[in-house]
Amino acid sequence: MHRLVLVAGLLLCFSGVAHAQNYSEWEVFGGFDYLNANAGSVPLGNGTNFVLQQKGYGWHFTLAENKLSWIGGILDFSGDYANRTVNFGTASSPVDVRFYGSAYPFLFGPRFYYRRLGRAVLFGDALIGGVHARVNIASSSIPTSQTKWAYAFGGGADYNVTSLVAIRGQADWIRSHFPETLARDYQNNYRVSAGIVFKFGGSR
């Protein structure tokens, strides 16, 4: 009887390990995101500063290939959009200018997984790539654009609804090398995303 209980316990343990190590070879994530871009401030000459910290909203897409249960490689793309009005005059004589901006991070690198939490999976990323930014003034049809290199660290969690579909939430710190001030040639940006993961390629 004791041996039967021991064998049953071992089978349960090994089945739990096997379940924890199951994963799909390919994962596609699509969702919405929020980007907080910190670009410093610029004096306007009217006694005020134009604060370049901007909140943007947009989309987030990743493609992951998982060769092992604990590590994979990902391609990460997102696009965020914002607009604001800046007064280049004074309160009594305003000169309002409308700006439209967008940012497109494109990154790649390894993703590390922890798969021993039942339906939940934790992951972390270390990525490198770039950010393409565009700014357009409402009265102008010619946008100003620039691309700078960037790197990012982040992580999140998936909750497996089925073996092929999961719900994801994640957060990333992205350092882009657009100048924040005359003395600082980089910006610290923060991105939060949520969406759905679709899994392909069979269970491993």
Lowest mean pLDDT among 54-68, 76-90, 145-159, 185-199: 76-90
Q: Do the Cβ atoms of 59 and 81 come closer than 8 Å?
A: no
- CATH T-level fold of 2-203: Porin (2.40.160)
Q: What is the pLDDT of residue 39?
A: 63
What pLDDT digit, counting tens, does each position of 75-94 carry? 999 999 988 777 766 667 77
Q: Bridge-partner residues for 136, per DSSP? A: 100
When comparing pLDDT for 54 and 112, which is higher? Answer: 112
Which sequence spans correspond to the domains of the chain?
2-203
When comparing pLDDT for 189 and 178, which is higher? Answer: 189
